[in-house]
Amino acid sequence: MNTPPASEVPPASGMRERLVRYHAKPDLTAERAGARISAYVYGNIIIFAAILGLPTHDVENGDAFAVVVGAALTTFLAHAFAEVVGHSTRDNTPEAKAELGRELRDAAPIATSAVLPALLLALAWAGWFSGGAMALASEIYLLVRIALIPLMVERLRTDRTSFPALLAGILLALAAAAVSAVKMIAGH
């Protein structure tokens, strides 16, 4: 589905439209929006999985911070390397190099998904908050981001998200929360 030009995007009328469409990018192609959403989903899942596997003492001694930052950066770098190799194999013209820059911009959510969790884990490492509380806060933050995936799609595509899509985002977050609950019960 093609994104309508900015002149065809209806003005924001309700609270949801003001929040979501305020930052809408009507000139962003569907392909670019899809690449950014893929990176957003991938980054959130990778960081959520990294935090789930960490015991509280790793949060408190700084190992969790290193794991989260390392997971975000290495995943982004692996993606960037794959894009460079793929683009140079397909086309090595100046236009292709400009396209590569856009691809790397679209991949930024892989790394940025770790920013707030890393800050929260750093607060626990510094001893300002308990490790368990900061790990839980990081998990909740990522669960909210996962639940809001359909609204992120709406923001980037300027198409209103359907109720089933909103429900799917919530169900995905609930499934991730169930994994988190099993982790806590198992005393990881």
**pLDDT tens, 93-127?**
666 667 777 778 888 888 899 999 999 999 999 99
Q: Supply the pLDDT for residue 3.
A: 47
- Does the pLDDT of residue 6 top 50, yes or no? no
Predicted model pTM: 0.74
Q: Supply the pLDDT for residue 174.
A: 83
Q: What is the DSSP letter of 107?
A: T
- Does the pLDDT of residue 28 top 80, yes or no? no
Q: Supply the pLDDT for residue 32.
A: 77
- Does the pLDDT of residue 11 top 60, yes or no? no
- Does the pLDDT of residue 22 top 50, yes or no? no
Q: Supply the pLDDT for residue 15.
A: 60
User: Taking the CA of residue 6 as centre, how many other CA atoms within 13 Å lie in the half-sphere pointing to its CB?
Assistant: 6
Q: Supply the pLDDT for residue 1.
A: 45
How does residue 38 score in pLDDT terms, banded at 50, 70 and 90? confident
Q: Are 37 and 152 in contact (CB under 8 A)?
A: yes
- Does the pLDDT of residue 5 top 60, yes or no? no
pLDDT tens digits along 71-87: 999 998 888 888 777 77
Q: Supply the pLDDT for residue 176.
A: 73
pLDDT tens digits along 128-186: 999 999 999 999 999 888 888 887 777 676 667 677 777 887 888 788 777 766 765 66
